[in-house]
């Protein structure tokens, strides 16, 4: 079972949807089968509350072939729309595979969901199956915070990063805001601690675009993405990323390569700084003719120049 097994204390629609999803799964599955109805694939529309941002085409191809051979398996969760169609709540991969397989109808469980309930249900299903990347998980939870709690996404991020800092939370004279309490309660329903969300989840938002895409679409682990982000030179980072993907480098190998690159970049940065200091000193020297007016300063300057010339000549 996923480490994000939802807490049954979170209630929806007068009952604990989260609890029902994890208690007696076989009974729940059988009940869904009995309550399901066959609906035309063409009447189902993609949902607006899908936390998954990427679906493996290879996985869809495999599932589509299975549907062609054995017929549709499983159920989709949908909600009715006013125009007679249905909005997909959960099961998009199966829906895509069914369309690709050319199936006419799929088995669906039809229920009324509010927007926040739809998003929450989709999040729960994906977290249960560990289908979400860390970035998708983060974006989905932020979307739920905005939809269910009415706290704007950027404001929620700011609250967690500032008020949620462990140093501030440990101070007895600083009381958490109501918004932070609400966010923490929502996170607890997915067994995600506030500190974990702040220090791990939110870090995905600041990853460079190529690392986000690799994490979403190319099976780059979250820990590897964070490690690669330590390489600040953009081209060096992209080159290493391609090497990691092509050769399936282990996390240990990635750490070693990153260590070598960052050491090299640090050394190059130190050289660049010295060159700039030399250039700045040379410019300044043109304006300090007064140093040549005293014998003592003149001799000292001559000595320093001799040492510098010797050093630059490699002697």
Return d(Cα 191, Cα 10) in angstroms, integer. 11
pLDDT for position 270:
63
List Cα–Cα distances, 251 to 139, 153, 257, in angstroms: 25, 32, 10
pLDDT for position 166:
62
Alpha helix (H) residue ranges in the chain: 17-22, 25-35, 57-70, 92-101, 115-128, 134-144, 153-162, 166-169, 178-188, 194-199, 209-217, 222-228, 234-247, 251-285, 295-312
Q: Over range 173-182, report the average pLDDT.
A: 81
The answer to whether the CB of 115 falls within 8 A of the CB of 82 is: no
Residues in a beta bridge with 80: 86
Percent of the chain with pLDDT over 90: 48
pLDDT for position 20:
38
pLDDT for position 310:
78
Q: What's the pLDDT band for 309 if we cut at 50, 70, 90?
A: confident
Contacts of 134 (CB under 8 A, 6+ apart): 200, 201, 204, 215, 222
Return d(Cα 238, Cα 234) in angstroms, integer. 6
Q: Using one digit for the tens of pLDDT, what is the confidence trace for 246-285?
A: 999 999 999 999 999 888 877 676 667 777 777 777 777 6
**Alpha-carbon dihedral 177, 181, 187, 192, rounded to 10 degrees:** 90
pLDDT for position 59:
86
CB-based burial of residue 163 (10 Å sphere; 0-12 exposed, 13-18 middle, 19+ buried)? Answer: buried
- pLDDT: is 97 or 170 the higher one? 97
User: What domains appear along the chain, each with residue ranges and CATH number?
Assistant: 17-114 (3.90.1530.30), 133-206 (no CATH), 207-288 (no CATH)
Q: Using one digit for the tens of pLDDT, what is the confidence trace for 33-76?
A: 557 899 999 999 988 888 888 888 888 999 999 999 999 999 99
Q: What's the pLDDT band for 17 if we cut at 50, 70, 90?
A: very low
Q: Over range 185-214, report the average pLDDT.
A: 92
pLDDT for position 285:
67
Query: Smallest Cα–Cα separation from 224: which of 248, 260, 194?
Result: 248
Q: Over range 218-237, report the average pLDDT.
A: 92
Predicted confidence (pLDDT) at residue 210 exceeds the cutoff of 90: yes
- pLDDT: is 36 or 104 the higher one? 104
DSSP 9-39: T--BTTB-HHHHHHSSHHHHHHHHHHH-EEE
Q: Over range 169-186, report the average pLDDT.
A: 78
Contacts of 251 (CB under 8 A, 6+ apart): 221, 223, 224, 227
């Amino acid at each position: 079972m996923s480490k994000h097994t939802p807490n049954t204390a979170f209630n929806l629609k007068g009952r604990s949807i989260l609890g029902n999803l994890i208690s007696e799964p076989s009974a729940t599955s059988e009940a869904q089968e009995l309550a399901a109805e066959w609906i035309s694939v063409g009447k189902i529309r993609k949902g607006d509350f899908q936390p998954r941002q990427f679906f493996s085409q290879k996985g869809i191809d495999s599932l589509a072939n299975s549907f062609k051979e054995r017929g549709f398996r499983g159920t989709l969760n949908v909600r009715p729309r006013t125009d007679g169609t249905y909005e997909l709540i959960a099961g998009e991969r199966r829906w895509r595979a069914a369309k690709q397989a050319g199936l006419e109808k799929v088995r669906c469980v039809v229920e009324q969901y509010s927007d926040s309930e739809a998003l929450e249900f989709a999040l729960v299903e994906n977290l249960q199956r560990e289908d979400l990347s860390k970035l998708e998980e983060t974006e989905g939870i932020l979307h739920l915070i905005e939809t269910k709690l009415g706290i704007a996404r950027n404001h929620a991020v700011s609250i967690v990063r500032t008020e949620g800092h462990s140093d501030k939370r440990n101070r007895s004279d600083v009381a958490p805001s109501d918004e932070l309490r609400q966010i923490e309660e929502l996170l607890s329903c997915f067994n995600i601690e506030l500190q974990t969300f702040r220090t791990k989840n939110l870090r995905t938002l600041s990853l460079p675009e190529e690392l986000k895409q690799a994490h979403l679409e190319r099976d780059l682990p979250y820990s590897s993405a964070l490690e690669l982000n330590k390489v600040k030179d953009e081209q060096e980072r992209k080159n290493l990323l391609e090497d990691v993907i092509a050769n399936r480098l282990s996390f240990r190998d990635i750490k070693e390569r990153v260590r070598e690159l960052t050491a090299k970049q640090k050394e190059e940065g130190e050289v660049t700084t010295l060159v700039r200091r030399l250039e700045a000193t040379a410019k300044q020297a043109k304006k300090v003719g007064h140093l040549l007016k005293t014998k003592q300063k003149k001799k000292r300057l001559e000595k320093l120049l001799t040492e510098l010339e010797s050093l630059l000549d490699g002697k």
